[in-house]
Amino acid sequence: MRRGFTMVAAAGVLAWPASALAQGGLENAAGDMAPAGDTVRYILDSALLVMGGVGALVALAGLCMREAGLARPQHTPAACLRVLAGFGVAALAFWLVGYNLIYTVEEGGLLGEFRPWTPLDAAAPAAASGVAATARAPAAAWFFQASLAGLAVAAVSGAVSERARLWPFLVFSALLAGLVYPVAAGWTRGQGYFAETWGFYDFGGAVLHIAGGAAALAGAIVVGPRPGRYAGGVVRPAAKTALSLSALGALLFVPGWTLALIAMNGSVSSAPAANTVALIAANACLAAGGGVVTALVITKAVYRRAGVVSSIAGAVGGLVAIAADPAHPAAWQAAMIGGVGGMIVTIAPPFLDRFRIDDAGFCIAPHLLCGLWGAAIAPWSNPDIRVLGQFVGLAAVAAFVFFMSLLLWTSLKYFAGVRSTSADDAAPAPAPSEANA
């Protein structure tokens, strides 16, 4: 009898919070929760950055698989090595100078300090959620940002796939991750000139992809197209025999980049921050879905068949498009932003081919163009963003990274040579009938 009474009472105690949430709503209940203590906040927010860094590495693996699947079979090992080694040199360069170039720039300044990162340095503040630098482990902040820098290098690797030499590419990767990208990120995410003076806003991911895409465009121009790609004035796509691997890469990029976007919020240790994190995850999912479906529909309408490659690019493009501000759009806005990203990655490659710009890994449109689109449309859902400042910041970042990358690629071309001369690269591409729309 006493045991039965005790069980009923316990059930009532456990059911009471659920009843309160049902009556008052999740949002009101979250608002009544007490904030976490300083120690708990430090642990949770540091762990969030570590998980975000792991997510970025998963996304990096996805980009590696995407590139390997789109390359001809004899180039698959070289593609994997290029991404892996590129990440290695990028991490070292980001440690030696890149991180502090971003986060030691004075407010409204143009350049940070040229010095290595140490665990004694303060963690970068999370501008997205206002988390103070002292609220998170410095090493967790560095690990997260270094993992992101590797994604920019992977975008370049895909664009110059099948014809770029390894060692010049690694030199460029070190310069991109250690100097070029950090300077541009310092202007924006580091609260430098364009963030403070012009009000340029980036949640954390747009400038990264714009930098990677602009560097990829410069590399594709300087390295040149694959042999036989534009022979006889006809675009001759290479056979893609491992599209299942590329599709798996896209499926890895979706959760990996979503987790990285969540970590950019900076905190999960309060009820409002946790709600924001959940909204970011939902909007990222909708943007990816919008990108895939739009690319699929357009390809079916234009080429009369479903396109695997365009759908893969649509998933990446949709997620990149939402990266500038995933926390403010409504659900339908997130799906539309991603959908336009899917349209961009479908119509841009033929346009690039008209200028004989050979983007072997379909990287320029998803990273550069979708990054520009996402940052440009951010004021639509966030009225606090200045439209003029957004466009000025975008133009400055894209132009700086592109011209600096063009200079670096050109210098490497004349001093070391960037073009592979292997027998495999000399083989002409297959006939157009082997292309997948």
Retrieve residue 65's tokens.
């698989």
Percent of the chain with pLDDT over 70: 85
- Find the Cα–Cα–Cα–Cα dihedral 150, 155, 158, 159, rounded to 10°: -140
pLDDT bracket for residue 285 (50, 70, 90): very high
Question: What pTM was estimated for this model as a whole?
Answer: 0.87
Q: How far apart are CA 295 and CA 340, in angstroms?
A: 9
pLDDT bracket for residue 399 (50, 70, 90): very high
Q: Which residue has the higher pLDDT, 93 or 107?
A: 93
For 106, 168, 382, the CA distances from 155, given in Å and listed in that order, are: 29, 16, 28
Q: How far apart are CA 201 and CA 322, in angstroms?
A: 13
What is the pLDDT at residue 263?
93
Asked if residue 433 has pLDDT above 50, the reply is: no
DSSP, collapsed to helix, strand or coil, labels residue 72 as: coil
What is the pLDDT at residue 122?
73
| 39-81 confidence digits (pLDDT tens) | 888 899 999 999 999 999 999 999 999 999 998 888 899 999 9
- The dihedral of CA 91, 92, 95, 100: what is its sign? negative
Residue 436 per-residue DSSP state: -
What is the pLDDT at residue 22?
36
pLDDT bracket for residue 432 (50, 70, 90): very low
> What domains are defined for the chain?
46-434 (1.10.3430.10)
Q: How far apart are CA 188 and CA 63, in angstroms?
A: 25
Residue 105 per-residue DSSP state: S
For 152, 205, 255, 273, 321, the CA distances from 56, given in Å and listed in that order, are: 11, 11, 9, 21, 16
Q: How far apart are CA 243 and CA 265, in angstroms?
A: 34
| 21-41 confidence digits (pLDDT tens) | 333 443 443 444 445 577 888
Residues in the chain: 437
What is the pLDDT averaged over residues 204-210? 92
Helices (H), 94-132: 99-103
Q: How far apart are CA 296 and CA 315, in angstroms?
A: 10
Strand partners, 164: 419
Retrieve residue 84's tokens.
């892996």
What is the pLDDT at residue 235?
78
Judge contact between 166 and 153, C-beta under 8 A: no
- Phi and psi at residue 53, in whole multiples of 5°? -65, -40
| 314-350 confidence digits (pLDDT tens) | 999 999 999 999 999 999 999 999 999 999 999 999 9
